[in-house]
Amino acid sequence: MTAVHEFPMARTCPFAPPTAYAEIREEEPVTRVRLPEGKQAWVVSRHEDVRTVLNDRRFSADRQHPDFPQLVPGFRRPDDERTMITMDAPEHGPARKAVLGEFTVRRMEALRPRIQEIVDERIDALLAGPKPGDLVETLSLPVPSLVICEMLGVPYADHDFFQTHTAKLIKRGTPPQERRAAVEAVREYMSDLIAGKEANPPDDLLGRQIVKLREEGTYRRASLAATGFLLLVAGHETTANMISLGTVGLLENPEQLALITADPGKTLDAVEELLRYFTIVDAATARLCVEDAEVGGQLIRAGEGVLALGYAANRDPGAFAAPDELDIERGARHHVAFGFGPHQCLGQNLARMELQIVFDTLFRRIPDLKLAAPVDDLPFKDDAAIYGLYRLPVTW
């Protein structure tokens, strides 16, 4: 048995997982780690085993359970914060199905012209601004924020409010009391917003949910506010970070960038590879074992916490040849950057389309785009639960 590692582990290179991941995956793919609160949990690091855990009902997503492995010391979610990502079957299915229709490929394709318009407007702003410009402020964050705000019917004028509070939620070092206050502020905001829609529900996601849930006799403002909170936070923070990281990844691998500028038909493949390569939400797929289960030859007992390490799985040489290379022609859509199983990311179709439109448009309109600072000097989010960049200075 190797020494118990402290978790989370820090990335020492922006383009590579923590160095211990490869060692764990090779020598002891199901092993113990110590969490910030002092408790131990299992980590699962091989691709096959990660998918097993995420698709097995013996591993619960119920974050309210007192034994659930917590990565944020001193922070517990109260029962009124239950959303689909914290539910198990049979409760999870109906909760997910209620909003699944809002994220179909067909509905996302209907949004394509508006997303293209937003991307062009933000690139116009970048080109009209100072050089160097900050891609995070000008493009990466506004694009998904504008899109999710329009989908939900949230005034974009309020984006500073929810982005400020979201930043506190994803930063690991935010004190529990401050984190609690941020959650309550956004939930109260969302509840008030929904209350204003109830008398005459508009044709936006929240308005349609009000109508649908009333017809079913299951409408509860607090429950819809929790769903709205989840979609608002997840809908902008993850994609924003992938836009920034993907841009850096392509600029640092010009031969890969040349493939998509020569043939935009390859951009969706590039998106999949960039998602695998960076895996920005690594350990959000924590689970609690609720029935003894064997994974990778290791018995995990009921009551023990498990972290399914997506980044380790996505760099597993048993699943991906030369996994540490960025290869947009890899064609490997079996990555777990969006999770796996019943809790797989609801908004993945939207994220893929946003990323495709951004990369195609950005490099077509600014073919001489380049970093305005060395990669080693860029402010990567090493202290956050969702990896990314605080700023990305670019010039052209």
| Confidence bin at 385 (pLDDT 50/70/90) | confident
List the CATH number of the domain containing 71: 1.10.630.10
d(CA 135, CA 395): 9
The kind and range of the H/E element at 230 are helix 221-251
User: For position 344, what pLDDT does the model report?
Assistant: 95
Mean of the per-residue pLDDT values of the chain: 94
pLDDT of 321 over the 80 cut = yes
Which ranges in 252-285 belong to alpha helices (H)?
A: 254-262, 267-278
Task: From 266, 280, 279, 278, select the one nearest 328 (Cα to Cα).
Answer: 266
Note down the domain range covering 309: 5-395
DSSP 179-211: HHHHHHHHHHHHHHHHHHHSSS--SSHHHHHHH
pLDDT of the residue at 212: 95
Range 276-304 average pLDDT: 95
Strand order in the sheet with 59-60: 5-6, 30-34, 40-44, 305-308, 286-289, 59-60
| Cβ-based burial of 58 (10 A; exposed 0-12, middle 13-18, buried ≥19) | middle
pLDDT of residue 81: 61
- Tell me 304's DSSP state: -
pLDDT 10s digits, 32-79: 999 998 999 999 999 999 999 999 999 999 998 999 998 887 666 655
Say if CB 149 and CB 233 are below 8 A apart: no
User: Is 80 a residue whose pLDDT tops 70?
Assistant: no
Q: Which tokens sit at 174?
A: 């935010």
Confidence of residue 285 (pLDDT cuts 50, 70, 90): confident
Q: What is the pLDDT of residue 79?
A: 56
Q: Once rounded to an integer, what is the mean pLDDT over residues 368-384?
A: 96
Total of domains in the chain: 1
- Answer with the residue of higher pLDDT: 372 or 72: 372
User: Helix and strand tally (H, E) in the chain?
Assistant: 14, 11
pLDDT tens column, 122-132: 999 999 999 99
Structure tokens at 290: 């609720």
Distance between CA atoms of 151 and 242, rounded to whole angstroms?
A: 20
- pLDDT value, residue 1: 47
Share of the chain above pLDDT 90, in %: 83
Average pLDDT over residues 150-167: 92
Nearest by Cα to 118 from 139, 132, 103, 135: 139
Q: For residue 261, what are its two tokens?
A: 């500028």
Type of residue at 33: V
For tokens 């960076």, name the residue.
278
What is the mean predicted confidence (pLDDT) over 282-286? 82
Instruction: List residues bridging with 194 in a β-sheet.
Output: none
Q: Are 306 and 314 in contact (CB under 8 A)?
A: no
What pLDDT score does 170 carry?
86
- What amino acid is encoded at 42 in this protein? W
Q: What's the confidence (pLDDT) of residue 77?
A: 60
**Which contacts qualify for 100-103: CB closer than 8 Å, 24 or more apart?**
100/346, 102/151, 102/205, 102/208, 103/346, 103/347, 103/349, 103/350
Q: pLDDT category, 205, cuts 50, 70, 90?
A: very high
pLDDT at 28: 95
